[in-house]
Amino acid sequence: MAAMTDTKHATGVLASERPPEAAGHGWDPAAIRAQFPILSREVNGHPLVYLDNAASSQQPLRVLNRVERYLREEHANVHRGVHRLSAEATEAYEGARRSVAAHAGTRDPAEIVFTRGATEAVNLVASSWGDASIGTGDEIVLTKMEHHSNLVPWQLLAGRTGCKLRFVDVTPEGTLDLDDYDRLLGRRSRLVACTHVSNSLGTVNPVREIVDRAHAAGALTLIDGAQAAPHMLTDVAKIGCDFYAFSSHKMCGPTGVGALWARRELLEEMPPYQGGGEMISEVKLEGSSWAKIPHKFEAGTPNISGVVGFGEAARFLADLGSEAIASHEGALKRAVLGRLREIQGLHLYGPREERGRTAVFSFAYGDVHPHDLSTILDQRGIAIRAGHHCNQPLMDHYGISSTARASFYFYNSPGEIDVLCDGLAMAAEVFGGVA
Ligand code: PLP
């Protein structure tokens, strides 16, 4: 993905917004779907329509088979052994690091630290960089649309250090208020931590602009890429940020594994996040020295099979091609927007136009409670999400406690949009009309 040359694209404009001829060739929706065994199961007597991809995506056979092969044939502990299996496991683990690095757009695999997910990646930065660099009176700029994963770690840091958290406002259209951002940035700003794509609204934030303004104010930047890395080119060099966090399970890989990308110089300067085996160079009773990056940040036996699956998922997405993925998702997004706009009583949160959003749709449906709606749709085999989506401050901003959320991925089909809309019509009947 690093090979892409379109700066705008890397900074948050989707490939689907390019002319159609730029999209990938040879995209065969049925063949792609067939690679995901779970998509052919039934739920409550209906074919599964899986629209909860923003929470967790499904895994293709390629990833399932790779993890199984690792467990059946290559499993051993990594890095320490000199025997054959340990060498093979280490190669599988470090090979995954190279694939994930390529996905993030870095040529330097040592800049990729494996974590339990985007959540742990943010916690790592807040604990290691934050504890070492932040003091009373310093400010960290966040936004009101952050996932709790990119909020609570900073609240904990504020509790430990006395730093202040400032929050960029969200406009009624569900975009960031960049004038407010400019007002909040100042000489006390030490870090701007912002989501690349909102997991509730689907808003694609202008991360390059956000990063440039932060750097001009002398602040570092962390981008939460959990909802971007699965869908669009991720090129950390072009985004220009200092830290980028993302998760495997949102991009066709296993759960419980993710990555932090950080600039080499930062990782080299930062103190370890956790202590234990694997992260040391030498240990004496009086004290220890640290392994080189990235191992300095990977204490203990890692989630080896998860990392191997993550690497295979990154290669799978690379083989599909990010332009083809974004193109297909762009077509779905257009179609869903068109249909949802026609549904009476449905109020969509977030950008109402295609541009600057992904195929994540949060909505209210009259006064039907999102949990009731989700339960009714589940009876038709349709999986959507209902709740606050780990975005409680954003829900407060809109004066609501929850939304219904349908989130699409490249393996979803236009036919599934019809099923969703039929399901919504059926729900309206059950509730005696939706106004
Ligand atoms: N950030 C965003 C925007 C997310 O959507 C999520 C997951 O929903 C996370 C962070 C946390 O990811 P994980 O639970 O994989 O650590």
DSSP state of 70: I
Tell me what the mean pLDDT of segment 384-404 comes to.
96
Report pLDDT for 18: 33
Contacts of 217 (CB under 8 A, 6+ apart): 185, 186, 187, 189
Band (23; pLDDT cuts 50, 70, 90)? very low
Q: Is 358 in the pocket of ligand 1 (CB under 6 A)?
A: no
Amino acid 17: pLDDT: 34
Q: Is the CB of 195 under 6 A from ligand 1?
A: yes
Query: For residues 134 and 191, what is the distance between their CA atoms, to the nearest angstrom?
Result: 9
Indicate if ligand 1 lies below 6 Å from the C-beta of 119: yes
Report residue 262 as tokens: 């950080």
- Is the pLDDT reported for residue 15 higher than 60? no
| d(CA 125, ligand 1 centre) in Å | 15
Average pLDDT for 69-80: 96
pLDDT for position 27: 87
Confidence band for 406, pLDDT divided at 50, 70 and 90: very high
Quickly tell me which residue has 């998702």 as its tokens: 329
Check: CB of residue 198 under 8 Å from CB of residue 145.
yes
Cα 279 to middle of ligand 1, angstroms: 26
**Residue 25's pLDDT band (cuts 50, 70, 90):** low
Cα–Cα distances (Å) from 295 to 98, 113, 121, 402, in that order, read 14, 8, 14, 40
Complete domains list, the chain, with CATH = 84-318 (3.40.640.10), 322-430 (3.90.1150.10)
Q: Which of 247, 303, 407 to mutate to test the pocket of ligand 1 (most atoms within 8 A of CB)?
A: 247
Q: Which atom of ligand 1 is nearest to the CA of 248?
A: 15
Strand ranges inside 144-202, DSSP E: 164-168, 189-195
Ligand 1 centroid distance, CA of 242 (Å):
19
Atom of ligand 1 nearest to the CA of 197: 3
pTM over 0.75: yes
Beta strand pairing call for 42-43 and 258-262: unpaired
Specify the pairing of strand 385-387 against strand 382-383.
unpaired
**Residue 155 one-letter amino acid:** Q
Place of tokens 């419980």: 256
User: Across the strands, what pairs with 193?
Assistant: 222
Determine if ligand 1 sits within 6 Å of the CB of residue 228: no
Q: What stretches of 54-201 show up as alpha helix (H) in DSSP?
A: 61-69, 84-104, 118-125, 131-133, 152-161, 178-184
Among candidate residues 163, 252, 390, 421, the one labeled active-site is 390
| Residue range 290-319: mean pLDDT, rounded | 98
Is the pLDDT assigned to residue 80 strictly greater than 90?
no
Q: State the average pLDDT over residues 31-49.
A: 98
Q: Report whether 318 contacts 99 (CB < 8 A).
A: yes
Q: Is 349 left (phi over 0), alpha (psi -120 to 50) or beta?
A: beta
Does the pLDDT of residue 22 top 70, yes or no? no
Letter string b/e over residues 59-70, b meaning 16 or more CB atoms within 10 A of that residue's CB: bbebbbebbeeb
Q: Is the CB of 175 under 6 A from ligand 1?
A: no
Report residue 360 CA to chain centroid gap: 12
**Residue 421 annotated in active site:** no
Peptide bond into 20 cis (omega under 30): no
Strands 189-195, 220-224: pairing kind: parallel
Structure tokens at 328: 């297909």
406: helix, strand or coil: strand
Per-residue confidence at 315, pLDDT binned at 50, 70, 90? very high
Q: What is the mean pLDDT of residues 254-269?
A: 98
Average pLDDT over residues 385-394: 96
75 φ/ψ angles, rounded to the nearest 5 degrees? -70, 130
CA-195 nearest atom, ligand 1: 3
Ligand 1 contacts CB of residue 117 (under 6 A):
yes
Between these two residues, 164 and 352, which has the higher pLDDT value? Answer: 164
pLDDT digits (tens, 9 = 90+) for 147-194: 999 999 999 999 999 999 999 999 999 999 999 999 999 999 999 999
Task: Calculate the CA 95 to chain-centre distance.
Answer: 22
Measured in Å, residue 119 CA sits from the centre of ligand 1 at 6
What is the crossing angle of helices 84-104 and 304-320, to 10°? 40
State the Cα–Cα distance between residues 208 and 99, nearest whole angstrom.
Answer: 24
For residue 219, the SS3 value is: coil
Q: What number does the ligand 1 atom closest to the CA of 224 have?
A: 1
Atom of ligand 1 nearest to the CA of 255: 15
CA 134 from centre of chain: 26
Phi then psi for residue 284, to 5 deg, are -120, 165
CB of 391 within 6 A of ligand 1: the answer is no
Whole-number pLDDT of residue 223: 98
Q: Return the residue whose CA atom lies nearest to atom 12 of ligand 1.
A: 118
How much of the chain, in percent, has pLDDT values that exceed 70? 94
